[in-house]
Amino acid sequence: GAAIELRDGTIITGNNSPLMHASSSLIINAIKYLAEIPDKITLLPSMITDSIRSLKTDILNEHSVSLDLEETLIALSISATTNPAAQLALEKLKELRNCEVHMTHIPTAGDEAGLRRLGVNLTSEPQFATKNLFMP
């Protein structure tokens, strides 16, 4: 899992799921909170996430279909072209700069790169997110 402390002191969490990594869930939850977007509003339509997941498995031969943070941010920016709620959420990403993020595992390369680019301060537990440590 992952957690972020926002500037107002609010703690937001995110967890791994079949759709996205914990850091992806965390950032989506945080920007939805900042933009006051209800949980029931979907920012990432399934046609976008399904297309990315298909690319990962069918073309790139990756085993993990869940979206890392970099992939999630790209999907969000695509969604923002037609979804005003996604555009509003996208604009809130700047407010995460210098916030404290903690993960219960070592982030993947895509998660770490996304968090670094957002400018958050990251700490993590010394555990790998998966037992499959071979990276082709």
* Beta-strand pair 100-103/121-124: parallel
Picking from 60, 67, 62, 21, the residue whose alpha carbon sits closest to that of residue 46 is 67
Question: DSSP of 91-103, one letter per residue?
Answer: HGGGGGTT-EEEE
Give the global pTM: 0.88
Domain ranges of the chain: 2-124
Q: What is the mean pLDDT of residues 107-128?
A: 89
Task: Supply the pLDDT for residue 124.
Answer: 87
CATH architecture of the domain covering 2-124? 3-Layer(aba) Sandwich (3.40)
Q: Scanning the structure block, which residue is given the tokens 């850091």?
A: 23
